[in-house]
Structure 1
């Protein structure tokens, strides 16, 4: 197996995690990417994420399995690698009565009084009325994780380097170019495509189902006592309210999920709405000092109609390709589950 040469395209969370698990399985892996940890570009989606584990899967066993596997890995990472930028945090969701009726596509299973992951996460609790703020009719709380991606992505890259993986910076126009970019100088035996949003533009792939899910957030120095989100807002159907208290201090306030919107520019009016909603949801943000804004962020989640694509394909002039893209807002919380599926498909390709 060790002689099999694999090129992984992409150095976001999907590409790095897939490459790492493949190398640990004994494959000879080279990562080829336009961007790498430390870079910031609207096309490079991973550095802009919040990020946390908050599964919104509903009635999809495969996606639930991805999230379950990743939750278990995160539990291990928190204990064994405190330098990785993951932090255990309580996650609290409040639901409005009007949102129960419409069953939001964005929040899916989080609107259930007992979502699929109730038996997976630690210390799951259905909140009673005394624990639910005015304006809400239902709530859950459970032990979860928040990720500081500015720490986690470089750490994940360092794990790849320690596993013997080589990284090449290169802008691909067609997936077939990757075949000749393995660090050995020999042709790759298989390509793993983790190009995220760029799967819609990469020659040989050009997936028309891929779309951006624009997100806008506000990073503040104030530290929330937990992670919070609620079921909806009266501002707009594509706007959300969530708070992620980060490892190392500060909190991320969000947000929105604007499907098909490629605009990288901060909307100041939306920023004001985000701040207003966050302070209403968690007045304790200003417990120690008035809200102190670090910066405003815009990122594009790599969504895909019908859900993520994790499958084996044979492409003319390329050969065997395993795809892993389209996770949308679940890129981090499903990363290890999707990468394990990639390893299974690679093993199958060489069986």
Structure 2
């Protein structure tokens, strides 16, 4: 590498930007780079609609049905979360059971559970433990993240996808797992149900909503009641909907991109512009994978440019 100091600017302090900055610092000698994060919002800022990372449910669950490029991102992130949870329990990352519940319209044989070996196995949920009307479910062990702790301590064509969640106080009886219930045949368009306990006393996140191309940052009160009702049905430990203690209502506009996150590099008038954006609701679960890919593209370009300059000497 050249003895010249590299000036690097990371735009954005969400989970993608912070993880990319962390990966850059881990990959390149700190004496060789001058890294600056430029962002409108930073960890600790809350109730900002366009700053979604602190409001995220924040767990690991791959949306991919096969181990494609985006599945590889998720795989890398899982392995990094495993390392973080083991080595830094104060980071807000914790290994935690997850239950995925699906409606009968979802074909179990076509679920594409490529990550079964990665997570250490998958177990089918007994029928008598499923919510009324559900078709099937699986249990696995994955990760839960407390964004307020994780982003602040550990990390130091786009359309908005609207998300709506509720942060509630923890019940007297701790939850044994996080749960996701997907059943389009009985839920309104764009809605599903999740219950995510956050590590280190971060409360419980219940939701959820994924509304494509929705720029409205207002909070739908009628949806609040549906979220509460479904969450209590899915996790009876929460008690009755009317007894839930709401800490904060969240609305976030996730930067989503059709076809998945964009991770590539281009030359802009002699300056390298590395893209890592558009993961949408997969921000945390793919974060280390997309970040390491972005950094690899940058270092490859750096080595290539250095080789060209040396060849000219």
Fold match by TM threshold 0.5:
yes
Match of 1:33 in 2: 39
Pick the aligned partner of 1:148 from 115, 134, 146: 146
Give the TM-score of the pair, scaled to structure 2.
0.86
Deviation at 1:130, TM superposition (A): 4.7
Counterparts of 2:128 and 2:220, CA distance in 1 = 37
Deviation at 1:238, TM superposition (A): 0.6
Unaligned runs of 5+ in 2: 304-313
Alignment of structure 1 residues 172-251 onto 2, 5 Å: 209-221=157-169, 222=171, 223-233=174-184, 234-249=186-201, 250-251=203-204
Counterparts of 1:122 and 1:338, CA distance in 2 = 23
Unaligned runs of 5+ in 1: 101-109, 159-208
Say which SS state the counterpart of residue 350 (structure 1) adopts: helix
Runs (4+) of structure 1 exceeding 4 A deviation are 110-114
Counterparts of 1:342 and 1:148, CA distance in 2 = 24
Match of 2:311 in 1: none
Match of 2:88 in 1: 81
Match of 2:7 in 1: 5
Match of 2:101 in 1: 94
Question: Could you tell me whether the CA contact under 8 Å between 1:93 and 1:229 is conserved in 2?
Answer: yes
Over 3 Å counting, the alpha-carbon distance change for 1:256 and 1:65 in structure 2 is same
Question: Could you tell me whether the CA contact under 8 Å between 1:16 and 1:156 is conserved in 2?
Answer: no
Question: Could you tell me whether the CA contact under 8 Å between 2:122 and 2:138 is conserved in 1?
Answer: yes
Counterparts of 1:212 and 1:76, CA distance in 2 = 32
The answer to which of 39-48 and 299-308 deviates more is 39-48
Counterparts of 1:54 and 1:122, CA distance in 2 = 13
Give the TM-score of the pair, scaled to structure 1.
0.77
Alignment of structure 1 residues 289-300 onto 2, 5 Å: 290-300=243-253
Does 2:22 correspond to 1:24?
Answer: no
Match of 1:172 in 2: none
Does 2:301 correspond to 1:349?
Answer: yes
Counterparts of 2:274 and 2:111, CA distance in 1 = 37
Computed over aligned residues only, the root mean square deviation of the Cα atoms, in angstroms, reads 2.1
Deviation at 1:131, TM superposition (A): 4.4
Match of 1:336 in 2: 288
